[in-house]
Amino acid sequence: MPESLTFPAGFLWGAATSAYQIEGAVREDGRTPSIWDTFSHTPGRTVGGDTGDVAVEHYHRYRDDVALMADLGLNAYRFSVSWSRVQPTGRGPAVQRGLDFYRRLVDELLARGIEPTLTLYHWDLPQELEDAGGWPARETAYRFAEYAGLVAEALGDRVHSWITLNEPWCSAFLGYGSGVHAPGRTDPAAALRAAHHLNLAHGLGTQALRAALPARARVAVSLNSAVVRPLSSSPRDMDARRRIDNLANGIFHGPMLDGAYPADLLTDTAAVTDWSFVHDGDLAAVHQPLDALGLNYYTPTLVSAAPRGTEAARADGHGASEHSPWPGSEDVAFHQTPGERTEMGWTIDPTGLHELIMRYSRQAPGLALYITENGAACDDKPDAEGRVHDPQRIAYLQGHLAAVRRALAEGADVRGYYLWSLLDNFEWAYGYSKRFGAVYVDYETQARIPKSSAHWYAAVARAGELVVD
């Protein structure tokens, strides 16, 4: 018997994107290169040598893309601002032309009744700041706070919902640890320094936002908190789970939500760093009151104890590297969770999303939760009539939305869901080879074709109701 699951009135039904993945126009209106421009133009870094130079031309097609969102019944949209479009050298005054693009985008959204959520940093550090040391350099956190203030002053009158960082784990550990993301460095101690300076940037950035925004503004962070499961309940596997949970989660939510790093994280990584980059007062600066927490979820992480040096390098699911993104965890092995997988090779397991929501409901009581990313890459192709059928994505979304609904029924305060992604786009190291969009993009013509999942999601969003078999 099909069951009908209703969502609360006012629930946000959104889609998410990020600047470098969709905008293109990388040399227009004063924009300078970010670390992703440099990285993607470095031979061997992305599949097929793909870059975001053109992407899906959202910078020029944003009006049509917003119209598409309205057609799909979305009432929320999460996008990111390109730092190097707004503050090209990462310091000094803002460039008006860069800000104007986001002003026009936001006005278009508001005119169609779509609530904008603005992410300040989705991995695209201005190259000049990387040249000055990047995230392992403390100064970058202060630069971020200045940039946050500039954007807030320019857009705070029309944007209510703000996110400081997207998935700082990826910035720190894929960018500076395994090197599969920009800037492609492979130094475990630098990765931990980067993590701390991202935390500091979040705290100082939140203070800068509060100083510039009206009191009603909502400030949050989006974490890709991992659902880490042990292969067995043996003490060694449980210890592997504990270590990875700290490196994936506690390293960010500890200082952000509780004002402290987990004590065992510091001892587990003592051979890599002495953590002397944490200065007096830093933890208080990071620990800012937040209005909401954004959770990004795709798949769970399965770990066990392993002999030193065997498996850890393949742990992140974002690309292969000989270098581990998990500093000091060479004795942890990573396993494929059994079950059906998406095109990313990520196992489909909605129970992980439920578990994640319930964990943060307990850990951060009183904090509104938003699922700021969730979705699937599928092998989508138009059929003879030019339509794109993606039943696997519909099943993925259905399962995960049902998990959200179950958490709501158990008392979790989830206020919205943002499907990743609105459009097929530049999937980082995988270039254009992975399609996450609810809307198909023909990269030759830039034509947009809503997939069957987009129509399905639109119906769910309009009704505020999910029908499950």
Q: Which of 343, 373, 410, 444 is catalytic?
A: 373
Q: How far is the CB of 372 from ligand FCB (least distance, A)?
A: 9
**Nearest alpha-carbon partner for 150 in 216, 199, 200, 82:** 82
Q: How far is the CB of 296 from ligand FCB (least distance, A)?
A: 6
Residue 162 interacting with ligand FCB (CB under 6 A): no
Pair 303, 234: CB distance under 8 Å: no
Q: Which of 140, 164, 206, 224 binds ligand FCB (CB under 6 A)?
A: 224
**Nearest alpha-carbon partner for 371 in 353, 387, 348:** 353
Part of the chain binding ligand FCB (CB under 6 A), chosen from 166-174, 187-195, 278-286, 401-409 = 166-174
Residue 166 interacting with ligand FCB (CB under 6 A): yes
Q: Which of 108, 130, 167, 427 is catalytic?
A: 167
Q: Which of 50, 245, 373, 424 binds ligand FCB (CB under 6 A)?
A: 373
Q: What is the DSSP string of 55-90?
A: TT-HHHHHHHHHHHHHHTT--EEEEE--HHHHSTTS
Three-class secondary structure of residue 128 per DSSP = helix
Q: How far is the CB of 221 from ligand FCB (least distance, A)?
A: 13
Residue 246 interacting with ligand FCB (CB under 6 A): no
412: alpha, beta or left, given left = phi > 0 and alpha = psi -120 to 50? beta
Residue 167 interacting with ligand FCB (CB under 6 A): yes
Number of residues counted as binding ligand FCB (CB under 6 A): 12
Q: Which is nearer to ligand FCB, 151 or 295 (CB)?
A: 295
Residue 170 interacting with ligand FCB (CB under 6 A): yes
Q: Which is nearer to ligand FCB, 288 or 342 (CB)?
A: 342
SS (H, E, C) 137-160: CCHHHHHHHHHHHHHHHHHCCCCC
Clarify whether 373 is annotated catalytic. Answer: yes
Q: How far is the CB of 48 from ligand FCB (least distance, A)?
A: 17
Q: Which of 83, 428, 432, 440 binds ligand FCB (CB under 6 A)?
A: 428
Pair 114, 69: CB distance under 8 Å: yes
Tell me whether residue 2 is exposed, middle or buried, using C-beta atoms within 10 angstroms of its C-beta: 0 to 12, 13 to 18, 19 or more.
exposed
Part of the chain binding ligand FCB (CB under 6 A), chosen from 165-173, 194-202, 247-255, 327-335 = 165-173
Q: Which of 13, 436, 440, 457 binds ligand FCB (CB under 6 A)?
A: 436
Phi, psi of 170 (to 5 degrees): -65, -45
Residue 299 interacting with ligand FCB (CB under 6 A): no
Q: Which is nearer to ligand FCB, 167 or 413 (CB)?
A: 167
Phi, psi of 248 (to 5 degrees): -90, -40
Pairing of strands 332-335, 301-305: antiparallel
Cα angle 135, 140, 146 (rounded to 5 degrees) comes to 145
223: alpha, beta or left, given left = phi > 0 and alpha = psi -120 to 50? beta
Q: How far is the CB of 420 from ligand FCB (least distance, A)?
A: 5
CB atoms within 10 A of CB 335: 14
Token pair for residue 100? 């104007």
Q: Which is nearer to ligand FCB, 79 or 277 (CB)?
A: 79
Q: How far is the CB of 121 from ligand FCB (least distance, A)?
A: 11
Per-residue mark of binding to ligand FCB, 11-40 (x: CB under 6 A): -------x--x-------------------
Residue 297 interacting with ligand FCB (CB under 6 A): no
Part of the chain binding ligand FCB (CB under 6 A), chosen from 163-171, 246-254, 256-264, 326-334 = 163-171
Based on its alpha-carbon atoms, the radius of gyration of the chain, rounded to whole angstroms, reads 21
Residue 171 interacting with ligand FCB (CB under 6 A): no
Q: How far is the CB of 233 from ligand FCB (least distance, A)?
A: 29
Q: How far is the CB of 36 from ligand FCB (least distance, A)?
A: 11
Rounded distance between C-alpha atoms, residue 58 and residue 20, angstroms: 10
Pair 370, 292: CB distance under 8 Å: yes
Q: How far is CA 381 from the centre of its chain?
A: 26
Give all strands of the β-sheet with 228-230 in edge-to-edge order: 228-230, 301-305, 332-335
Which are the catalytic amino acids? Answer: 167, 373
Q: Which residues bind ligand FCB (CB under 6 A)?
A: 18, 21, 166-167, 170, 224, 296, 373, 420, 427-428, 436
